[in-house]
Amino acid sequence: MGSAKIDKLGKIGFVFSGGSMRGAFQAGALEVVWKQGIHPHYVFGVSVGALNASAAALGKANELIDVWENIDRKDVYRFPVLKKMQRGILFSASLFENDPLIDLMLKFSKKDPKKFRTLQEKEEAIGRALTQGGVTPFGVVATNWQLGQPEVFTNYDQRVLDEPALLAKAIRASGSIPLFFPLVDIGEYQYGDGNAKYFNTLRPAVEAGCDTIIFFHITHSSRPINRYAKMIDVALRVVEMNVALYKEDKDLLNEALSLRESPSGNFQILLNKIKKIRGKDVRLVTIKPSVALPDVGFKATGNFDKNDIRLLIEEGRKAANETLGRENLLII
């Protein structure tokens, strides 16, 4: 019976949205989906979702839980004081460095970061792990800062197969909030935050021909109005608004913002439009929080409270069980 249910889903795509340290919610949700025997044919992610998607592509759902339960600020970013003092903060590429994320990714592959001497060696190791045989087709969205457009890097692109380290660079770039984290050089261009266009993570899954898309979406659609009391929160909001406006026309911006606020409704409208082009349905299963999630991580000025992380993981498990039950996809 369970196998028959899964077969009816056709080609399955997993899509992981961005959302900073709230990515722990996705880890809990992925664990539940994985235990139900629902495994993807394609996986795509953006920002923190790219990190979680890479673990899903490697089949490391359980390891992902362990990584999140033990995560700390130093695993995500660092502030090189001496380097900033020498150059001056205003002349630095960013306030913080996010290369520790590379060490975090190495843990998915059970590799010791200390065995690698340089960042390039680490990126090559991650790239090779994600492009080897048996790994689920995987893609990450990063924004080309010169062109102002999102770009998808996949482990089946010829350019990535020729230079696997590009995939690790793209994952790091996808979560690089401008000003706070450095842009990442890939070829002749610089890449940054993949969330510059809010709805783009679904499109690669649709273009890959997925019949069912399971969307691990972090934002609670009825979240309270944000109050910006801290300088860092105000600065982040300025960056967020300017990135969204960069090279966007008014209609596209309105569509993107509406999709971000109400994913289950507006994304389905978008998929209905795609149906007319493809001639068949695309089933969207959105796993999202039922309540507003706690602030953790960078946006919460360094809050990496273990209890908050565990709460996020549990909320993910709860939301996944409720969603799969509602969609008649619970098997065990």
Measured CA to CA, the distance from residue 142 to residue 153 in angstroms comes to 8
CA angle 114, 19, 252 (to 5 degrees): 130
Within a 10 A sphere around the Cβ of 232, how many other Cβ atoms?
A: 15
Residues 175 and 193 sit within 8 Å (Cβ to Cβ): yes
Q: Is 284 helix (H, G, I), strand (E, B) or coil?
A: strand
Which listed residue (94, 103, 174, 193) is catalytic?
193
Concerning whether 47 is annotated as a catalytic residue, the answer is yes
Q: What is the SS3 string spanning 157-210?
A: CHHHHHCCHHHHHHHHHHCCCCCCCCCEEECCEEEECHHHCCCCCHHHHHHCCC
Encoded tokens for 329? 């996809």
Q: Which segments within the chain are labelled E, that is strand?
A: 12-16, 42-46, 138-144, 149-154, 184-186, 189-192, 212-216, 283-287
Concerning whether 99 is annotated as a catalytic residue, the answer is no
Encoded tokens for 259? 């999709």
Q: Say how many residues make up the chain.
A: 332
Which listed residue (47, 54, 94, 176) is catalytic?
47
Q: Which residues are catalytic?
A: 47, 193
